[in-house]
Amino acid sequence: MFKNSPHYQSSDWRLLSDCTTVPVQRTLTSGECVFDFDGVSNLDMKAIPLWLRDAQMKFAAFRSSSTGMHIHFWTNVHGTNRKKALVRRLAAKIEEVFGVKNDLQPMSHGVIRTEYANHPVKGEQKVPLDVNIPYIDPINVIPSHVLADLGEDDSYATYSGVTGNPGGLMPKCMRYILSHQFSDGRDRLLFSIVSWFKASGKTDQEIFDIAYEWCKRQDYHVSPSAVMAKIQSSSGQVGCRFRHELLEELGIDIMCNKKLEE
């Protein structure tokens, strides 16, 4: 999902095909990670990509401002917490070598400046510095010992306590709702999130932490008391059919394993 340049401060997220200008922000794609460096010298803007190349990393580096730098790379690691842990670990090594600090906010919110975008206030374009992404295989393989240190996947792709769901697999429609930005239907989407975790046996407070964080990522301004009221009134009976019909109404078609979800 993207934001048109004139509306970068609003909650007006759109499909790329609906944007009327080069969008200024976009959501991160599945498995995508970003380093967001500030205070980088021109010398280090050249040196850091070369260092990553020598480390056999596949990435795309961009100048985001006069001293700002974004480096995008993709892995098979999913879930906000695990991706943040991976980026934090790798950025610590870059800071050790080059002395530049990484901002984890893009990884927390799942939003980053769009490539080649012209910021409506700063007027600075995000232009490429170095690209080292093989056309056929852009995924970086993370060593197993590193994966073991990243903790649990907070996208809740698996949850062993889900009633009526063999193996605890979260359906694709729920994973999609939790990991994407929406500009419409957010009240009903929130209701579906609350209902899913209610059925899973999580406490009201645990559900609130998940649901309210989702609202903040959506720029969906709803009070904490309203979210808690929705949780307390939910019976957990909303199923996959409701989510699919809602997503289809929003122009999104997600294929799920019906044997697990109906």
Bridge partners of 27, per DSSP, are: 111
Count of structural domains within the chain: 2
pLDDT score, position 161: 36
Domain of residue 27 covers 2-147
Same domain, 175 and 120: no
Same domain, 179 and 139: no
What CATH code is carried by the domain that includes residue 80?
3.30.70
Same domain, 96 and 175: no
Flag whether 160 is in a domain.
Answer: no
47-52 CB contacts, 8 Å cutoff, 24+ apart: 47/98, 48/94, 48/98, 48/100, 49/129, 49/130, 49/132, 50/130, 51/94, 51/97, 51/98, 52/132
Q: Which residue has the higher pLDDT, 157 or 47?
A: 47
Main-chain dihedrals φ then ψ at residue 185, nearest 5 degrees: 70, 20
The CA distance from 91 to 128, in Å, is 20
Same domain, 182 and 137: no
pLDDT digits (tens, 9 = 90+) for 123-148: 777 899 988 887 667 888 888 777 76
Flag whether 157 is in a domain.
Answer: no
Flag whether 249 is in a domain.
Answer: yes
Main-chain dihedrals φ then ψ at residue 151, nearest 5 degrees: 85, -165
Q: How many residues does the chain have?
A: 262
Mean pLDDT over 244-262 rounds to: 70
Flag whether 152 is in a domain.
Answer: no
Flag whether 67 is in a domain.
Answer: yes
Same domain, 13 and 140: yes
Same domain, 215 and 85: no
pLDDT digits (tens, 9 = 90+) for 15-43: 777 777 777 888 888 789 999 999 999 99
pLDDT digits (tens, 9 = 90+) for 161-209: 333 333 345 777 888 888 888 888 999 999 999 988 887 777 888 889 8
Interacting residues of 234 by C-beta distance below 8 A, sequence separation 6+: 191, 194, 195, 198
pLDDT digits (tens, 9 = 90+) for 97-106: 999 999 998 9
- What 3-state DSSP class applies to 196? helix
Rounded (10°) CA dihedral 202, 215, 255, 79: -70
- How high is the mean pLDDT of the chain? 81
Cβ–Cβ < 8 Å for 113, 34: no
The CA distance from 49 to 57, in Å, is 9
Same domain, 175 and 142: no
Same domain, 171 and 134: no
pTM over 0.85: no
Domain end call among 112, 147, 182: 147
